Amino acid sequence: MAAVSALSKIRIDWFLVAIVASAVLASLFPARGVGVPVLDWATKIAIFGLFFLYGARLHPDEALKGLRDWRLHLTILSFTYIAFPALGLLLGPVLVPHLLSPALYAGLLYVTLCPSTVQSSVNFTSIAGGNVAGAIVSASASNLLGVFLTPALAIALMNTTGNADIRLESFLDIVLQILLPFVLGQLSRRWTADFVTRHKKLKLVDQFSIVLVVYAAFSSGMRENIWSLVTWSDLVVLLVVVCAILALALWSTWTVARKLGFNRADAIAIQFCGTKKSLASGLPMATVLFAGQPTGLIILPLVLFHQLQLMACSAMASHYRRQADAADAG
């Protein structure tokens, strides 16, 4: 009975289930023939709509408020866009080619360049009793900057290290499929912000777009025989490395925050915002950035990291909440 009760409390992440199902479906039934250009255009339209909605949702003031906490925001952004990418680069000589294939390492490096999440970072910070206002500002700023910084870092770091071939045409695609709709979404907020805020089910559009992107990526990969490029040992090593990166990030964000003199609430915000990587933004960007390459393998590390970070941060947020409740009771 206890086991049944415990199982009943487990929350199924249907979004992740849909992503995995989409990858499996693409592996078994990839798009071929006339379906390929149709899927390509559908994916481009979905990505355009996705970033338009991001722009419509994100109030510019959210990234500008609370500048009095500039040390908090600077610390979080430094982890997201400096410490993480530096770690990704340092792992290259260690992992390639003896432990990971170049394609999987490219995906791992790309994970370190992605922006932080907004919703889950704020939710976990709130559950843990952290600085929610600071988390909102930092996570929003991370996403706002990520639209520009993630593609720029990918072009600068992944091209120069030979881990990816991001062509000049990709830059134009970034402008047309990511920056343009995002800016249009920001400019449209006068007419669209209330509608987007009220209709929560528009999140389903986001999720459908990402599931479509995953299907397109793995479908393309099957046509290119991506699974012949990796072995089971590659996947096991990838899982171990992703777990190690997440553990190091969680430990270092908390340790550095406390050594810099941040209080417990701020340290919690730094830990949750500074370690998260956004699947919602990262997958569509990868599709644009790495067009014509084995995108399925490149996005695999991000999918793994996303699920592991949710599991780890959920457990930690609950632990922090119990600590706070115990302290209040004492």
Q: What is the dihedral of CA 41, 42, 46, 52, to 10 degrees?
A: 40
Given a contact cutoff of 8 angstroms between Cβ atoms, the answer to whether 245 and 100 are in contact is no
In this prediction, residue 17 carries a pLDDT of 79
| 147 burial level (CB within 10 Å; 0-12, 13-18, 19+) | buried
Tens digit of each residue's pLDDT (9 = 90 or more) over 81-135:
999 999 999 999 998 888 888 888 989 999 999 998 877 788 788 888 888 878 8
3-state secondary structure of 130: coil
Specify the pLDDT at position 13.
65
- Position 168 scores a pLDDT of 56
Buried b / exposed e along 207-221 (16+ C-beta atoms within 10 A): bebbbbbbbbbbbbb
Task: Give residue 161's pLDDT.
Answer: 53
d(CA 291, CA 205): 22
List, for residues 274-285, the tens digit of each pLDDT value. 999 988 788 888
- Between CA 12 and CA 15 the distance in angstroms is 9
Q: What is the CA radius of gyration of the chain?
A: 20
Cis bond leading into 30, ω under 30°? no
Give the residues of the chain that fall short of pLDDT 50. Answer: 1-4, 6-7
Residue with tokens 């929610």: 132
Calculate helix-pair angle for 264-275, 119-128, nearest 10 degrees.
150
Residue pair 253/118 in contact (Cβ under 8 Å)? The answer is no
Count CA atoms closer than 13 A to 49's CA, side-chain side.
18
